[in-house]
Structure 1
């Protein structure tokens, strides 16, 4: 499913009206016709399509972060493609007011990069790295990773965001990331390391143990790399449940 199939970003269009449009054969912005809805809503939809098409062509994805409901931002996944940025952070604790971010890993376009506190983990580097991301993919990032980053680095991340924590639950996958990984048969090189160990590893690194940092980075990177196959499967399931049943015969969008 692509963002061009969506009408819920329009003020006054909820899931019921969107489904009505789809069932009437309007499954893409290019197919919109005036007589499917009333004149006022029709004008709003036309205005949205004109603006959204221009923003999409210019790759200005922040527009969709503002107008698309949070639980529907997965609809940008196909548009984002390999440019989607899978992100995970490690910290010294759970409080963004008392604790600090130690590492930030980002997996994008088949490559993985980790920024480390005291080395290259800076406000400017993060801002530059995330500025052009069409979609951020995290696990529980809406409640943890993103607020932590924004507070620690005084950033306002205006990036569309697919949080797999809630998306997984929508399709019947429960538990934390390690639980979901097991359900997908994903194995790790360091299966016994947990978030609590990540805190210990950082403190060991601060005391001079470079090997501890290497293990921490490897753990943090696995958190992002493993999100990609999960995201692909979950968005496929969401597509089938939301859009697949009303897709017109022969429409492969």
Structure 2
């Protein structure tokens, strides 16, 4: 499902009105002719479509991410899937005011990059890496990863953001990332490692064990890489339940 299938960013259009548009064959901006809704709302939708096309031509989806309900931001993904930045961090604990970020991995355009505390993990580097990302995808990043980075590095992460944990819940996938990966058939090399192990591995590295850092980095990278196939699985399922279910009779 693409942004061009969506009408709920328009003021006055909720899920019920959007579904009515779809059921009447208005499944894309190109098909809107104003006949299904009143004239005032039709004018708003037409303005939204005109402005929306201009935003998409510039590759800017921020206006849609801001206007869409958080539970519907997954709709932005297909438009920018190739450039989407998947992010995951490891830390020394759960409290950003007393703990530190040890590694940050970013997966984008088929490449995974990891930054390590004391080496190349800096505020400037993070800001540069995120500056041109059209969309950020995390798992529980809305409550954990992003606030942690903002606190520890004094940065503002204002990239349009999909926290994959919430779309997962909408399709009945509950639990942590690794449990959900197992449910949908995504494999990883070290499935028995956990966040607690990540803390232990960092302390072992600080004590001189370089192999512990290698294991930690690979664990962090796996978390980040595996979010892409999970995002695609979840987006496909939501497309079926939200969009195809409403247009099945077309």
Corresponding position of 1:241: 241
Alignment correspondent of 1:136: 136
Count of residues paired in the alignment: 250
Report the 3-state secondary structure (helix = DSSP H, G, I; strand = E; otherwise coil) of the residue aligned with 2:95: coil
Q: CA deviation at 1:113?
A: 0.4
Unaligned runs of 5+ in 1: none
Aligned to 1:243, the other structure's residue is in SS state: helix
1:232 to partner: Cα distance: 1.0
Deviation at 1:248, TM superposition (A): 6.5
Structure 1 residue 9 corresponds to structure 2 residue 16 = no
Q: Does 1:163 pair with 2:163?
A: yes
Partner of 2:56: 56
- Shift of residue 249, structure 1, vs aligned partner: 6.5
| Structure 1 stretch displaced more, 183-192 or 46-55 | 183-192
> 1:42 aligned to 2:42?
yes
| 1:106 and 2:106 correspond | yes
SS in 2 for 1:142: coil
Report the alpha carbon displacement of residue 154 of structure 1 after superposing the two structures with TM.
Answer: 2.4
Q: TM-score normalised to the size of structure 2? A: 0.94
Contact 2:178 2:191 in 1 (8 A): no
Matched, 1:30 2:52: no
- Distance across 2 between alignment mates of 1:248 and 1:36: 18
1:149-169 Cα deviation digits (max 9, x unpaired): 122222222222222211111
Q: How does 1:183-202 map to 2 (within 5 A)?
A: 183-202=183-202
Q: Quote how far apart the aligned CAs of 1:62 are.
A: 2.1
Rounded to whole Å, the distance in 1 between the matches of 2:83 and 2:62 is 14
**Structure 1: how far apart are the matches of 2:193 and 2:245?**
41
Aligned mates of 1:69, 1:103 — CA distance in 2: 31
**CA deviation vs aligned residue, 1:167-220 (integer Å, no higher than 9, x gap):** 111111121111111112333222221100101111222222221111110000
Question: How does the TM-score come out when normalised to structure 1?
Answer: 0.93
Q: Is the 8 A contact 2:91 2:199 kept in 1?
A: yes
The aligned residue for residue 66 of structure 1 is: 66
8 Å Cα contact 2:135/2:159 also seen in 1: yes
Alignment of 1:82 with 2:89, yes or no, is: no
Q: Hey, what's the Cα distance between the residues in 2 that align with 1:245 and 1:4?
A: 17
For 1:211, the equivalent position in structure 2 comes to: 211
Q: Determine the structure 1 residue equivalent to 2:116.
A: 116
Segment drifting more, 152-161 vs 102-111 = 152-161
